[in-house]
Amino acid sequence: MKIKCILAFLIISLHVQKVSAQVFNILPYPNKLETTTKGQFDLNTTIEIATTITDPMVTPTIQLLKENLKQYHKISPIGKTKFEIYLDNSITNKEGYTLSIASNKIILKGNNAIGVFYGVQTFLQLAEQFKKTKLIPAVFIEDAPALSYRGLMLDVSRHFFPIDFVKKLVDIMAMQKMNNLHMHLTDDQGWRIEIKKYPKLTKVGGYRNGTIIGKFPGDGNTNQRYGGFYTQAELKDLVKYAATKFINIVPEIEMPGHASAAIAAYPALSTFESEKKVQETWGVFEDVFSPTEYTFNFLQDVLDEVLAIFPSPVIHIGGDECPKEAWKRSVFCQDLMKQKGIKDEHALQSYFIQRIEKYINSKGRQIIGWDEILEGGLAPNAKVMSWRGEAGGIEAAKQHHDVIMTPIDYCYFNFYQSTNPKDSIAWGGFLPLSKVYNYNPMPKGLNELDATYIKGIQANLWTEYVTNVKLAEYMLFPRSIAFAEVAWTKQKPGFDHFVKRLVPYLSQLKANDIHYSTQLFDIKIKSKLNAQKTGFTLQATGVASPAELIYEMSGKPLTIKSPKLIAPLTVSTSATISIGALFENTVVNEVHAEFTINKATTATILNTSTPDPAYNQSGAQGWSNGIIGSSNRFNDGEWLGFNGKPFETVMQFNKTETLQNVQCMLSKKVDDLVVEGFVV
């Protein structure tokens, strides 16, 4: 599986803050980049690659460099210019490198093979940016990652993805200097890894007899058998492939909860044996592994085969969302707790995790789990992934356990990334590109020593509603690119600078047949009552400059020939307005604003209760700004939300008005809503 390791260069007018005269399109951005006065390196010349490195891990990287340089000019044993590659142990970070580009020579130094690989990735991006002139400005780059663990999780249990797609994902991760791919291999809805000692795990647990339709709780069931799994040979090949790009594959085997698929295959693993099934819907299910010797022996057998496939120093054991009701009702569990002096079911989960940890430690590996493994006491050597916010990570760091931060608000790529009501179904929440980029992975409240235990960050793509490869790509890109810069760059140059570099990269994603999201071009519409109070002035903003925004009135469909939105529009009558952004001569995004002009729209809002921060984007004027909110997306910026709290607003009309009918758009029924004597 190969992917083009180049960047296509595109010039597009952007609405961004001023940046330096020369922006280098490197993603993620280097920690130190200085232009020098040593001229320009001419790609249109014979180049000699010179190195004394004997490490075989460097060989594929040099071959990659040669293949890419051939498109510019000849590679020769004796060239007019040299590309020299060295190992330099004075570079203290094992993933660090320096890249010096002058008119007659390029010198790349890495601490080891990893640093050399990352340095080549940076050079290839520069070479493609300046492909047209074939003259790379002289620069000096000194670079190393901010965080040692830079991860991405792909849930293959809820929906299964072919191994070729996983390799494609590895390719892009390598270009972005990410180094850990976490594969969520087992859950209630499917078991995806071949275990030879227990063939029913895939024969039975690898398939479900249907899947809910639409958003949970669903509008029916497909009633179609669905599933799949990876053979051990496929996974070993994946591990080998990823290693050439310095990416570690972290396997996850869920326990003691999220175990329905395994229990369906082997019901004796359950606290209460009865007819079981692989789950066809989403959520948390009560049936979990029973802490019997049979279960522990079974899991040890499974882990033996997992460890033989994956050389990862850490093995993910899940540990999240484990209901305790079955354990509370189980005579065996209650007797075990008395026998072992276990005070409650949370401590019983800790006992379960510690048993597994002891076994994995005996094999020379360590466990990592979601932050629920803190409950009842953290296993002695466990690492923690903090997903329910940052509190679990902070607590684990204070206990001097290694932590990977993955808080749901910033790192869950199964959340919506656009307010467009036509966006595909997502789990919930709202995580736009800008919020991903502005995440600060170092939580407050840690002293200098405790902060050293924050080892990295990880983005997660849960796939309940991600049913195919194209949709997975749409949810991942370009958010994962922003996330890579958060993980790598110590002092990020800012979101506008990032966008300036990202836009050319979109063409590279397209060249590699990646179906990326155009949320980058999302358009925000704001309306303001005009001075005469006869209508509204409509302002549309987005990444694209006004020259790239187009519009149509009265619901007419947008085309590339639609008029440009150069100046704000004036709206004085009820109308539907469509506004879109143009990118590469294509309408990549469009929004529709339905305006209703009535007596309330010209009123002044004097006072209103404060909405919940998540539903207050339009401010008090949202009560009467003329824009109708989406009926199926309450995060579109046009809804005011109070989450069950009483609310009040006061409007002042410009003149005495006779009101015959009062309507209030509500997302759900509200009791006792009173509007100046009118009961709605």
Catalytic residue chosen out of the listed positions 321, 344, 395, 496: 321
Q: Domain check: are 90 and 154 in the same one?
A: no
Whether residues 182 and 77 fall in one domain: no
The answer to whether the CB of 573 falls within 8 A of the CB of 612 is no
pLDDT single digits (tens) 277-322 = 999 999 999 989 999 999 999 999 999 999 999 999 999 999 999 9
Looking at residue 310, its pLDDT comes to 98
Which of the 8 DSSP states describes residue 427? Answer: S
Clarify whether residues 238 and 381 are in a common domain. Answer: yes
Q: Residue 16: is its pLDDT beyond 60?
A: no
- Domain containing 526: what range? 521-679
In a domain, 346, yes or no: yes
Chain center to CA of 391:
20
Confidence of residue 546 (pLDDT cuts 50, 70, 90): low
Question: Residue 15 domain-assigned?
Answer: no
Q: Which of 459-468, 504-513, 639-648 has the lowest mean pLDDT?
A: 639-648
> Which of these is catalytic: 159, 258, 316, 497?
258
pLDDT of residue 422 exceeding 90: no
Q: What percent of the chain has pLDDT over 90?
A: 63
Same domain, 571 and 490: no
E-assigned strands of 44-117?
47-51, 81-87, 97-101, 105-110
**What CATH number does the domain containing 112 carry?**
3.30.379.10
Active site residue 592: no
- The domain boundary, picked from 96, 113, 143, lies at 143
In this structure, what token pair is assigned to residue 537? 């002035």
Looking at 325-402, which runs of residues are DSSP E strands? 366-370, 383-386
Given 117, 143, 169, the domain boundary residue is 143
What confidence category does residue 336 fall into, taking pLDDT thresholds of 50, 70 and 90?
A: very high
Provide the pLDDT for residue 671.
56
- Give 11's pLDDT tier (boundaries 50, 70, 90): very low
Q: Of the ranges 153-157, 274-278, 506-510, which is most confident? A: 153-157
129-182, pLDDT tens digit by residue? 998 899 999 999 999 999 999 999 999 999 999 999 999 999 999 999 999 999
Instruction: Residue 607: count other Cβ atoms within 10 Å of its Cβ.
Output: 10
* 607 or 500, higher pLDDT: 500
CB atoms within 10 A of CB 60: 14
Q: At 508, is the pLDDT very low, low, confident or very high (cuts 50, 70, 90)?
A: confident
Residue 4 has pLDDT above 50, yes or no: no
Q: For residues 414 and 436, state if they share a domain.
A: yes
Q: Is residue 321 part of a domain?
A: yes
Residue-level pLDDT at 556 = 82
Distance CA 384, CA 154 (A): 18
Give me the pLDDT at residue 25, please: 94
Coil, strand or helix: which one is 582? strand
**Short-list 111, 110, 106, 135, CA closest to 123:** 106
Mean pLDDT computed over 579-583: 86
pLDDT value at position 678?
A: 44
Q: What is the CATH number of the domain that holds 410?
A: 3.20.20.80
Q: Are residues 139 and 287 in the same domain?
A: no
Residues 387, 254: Cα–Cα separation, whole Å: 15
pLDDT band (50, 70, 90) for residue 569 = confident
Q: pLDDT of 211-237, one tens digit each?
A: 999 999 999 999 999 999 999 999 999
| Model confidence band, residue 673 (pLDDT cutoffs 50, 70, 90) | low
* Cα–Cα distance for residue pair 469/174, rounded to 1 Å: 19
Mean per-residue pLDDT, 425-450: 94
Query: What is the average pLDDT value for the chain, to the nearest integer?
Result: 88
Structural domain total, the chain: 3
Chain mean position to CA 453:
23
Give the strand order in the sheet containing 536-541: 524-529, 536-541, 569-571
162 CB contacts (<8 Å, ≥6 apart)?
469
Identify the domain boundary among 143, 162, 195.
143
**321 noted as active-site residue:** yes
User: Does residue 187 have an active-site annotation?
Assistant: yes
Do 283 and 431 belong together in one domain?
yes
CB atoms within 10 A of CB 197: 10
pLDDT higher than 80, residue 634: no
Instruction: Copy the structure tokens of residue 214.
Output: 């639409």
Please report whether residue 347 resides in a domain: yes
* Each residue's pLDDT tens digit, 83-112: 999 999 999 999 999 999 999 899 999 999
Q: Give the pLDDT score at 397.
A: 97
Please name every residue paired with 544 in a beta bridge, in sequence order, or none if there are none: 14
Domain membership flag for residue 495: yes
Residue 543 lies in a domain: yes
Within this chain, do residues 103 and 173 fall inside the same structural domain, yes or no?
no
Are 382 and 279 within one domain? yes
Q: What's residue 76's pLDDT?
A: 67
Please pick, among 95, 143, 171, 187, the residue that the annotation labels catalytic.
187
Q: CA 579, 583, 586, 589 torsion: positive or negative?
A: negative
**What is the Cα–Cα distance from 575 to 484, expressed in whole angstroms?**
42
Q: Distance from first CA to last CA of the chain, Å, rounded? A: 61
Same domain, residue pair 499 and 598: no
Q: What's the pTM?
A: 0.86
Question: What is the distance of C-alpha 380 from the center of its chain?
Answer: 30
Report the amino acid identity of residue 560: I
The answer to whether residue 165 is domain-embedded is: yes
Is residue 9 in a domain? Answer: no
Q: pLDDT grade, residue 641 (50/70/90)?
A: confident
- Please tell me which residue, 377 or 20, carries the higher pLDDT value: 377
Helix (H, G, I), strand (E, B) or coil at 112: coil
Phi, psi (deg, nearest 5) at residue 156? -105, 5
In this predicted structure, what is the pLDDT of residue 212?
Answer: 96
Q: Clarify whether residues 446 and 476 are in a common domain.
A: yes
Q: Answer yes or no: do 271 and 377 share one domain.
A: yes
The position carrying tokens 């729209």 is 601
pLDDT of residue 575: 80
Q: Which residue has the higher pLDDT, 485 or 591?
A: 485
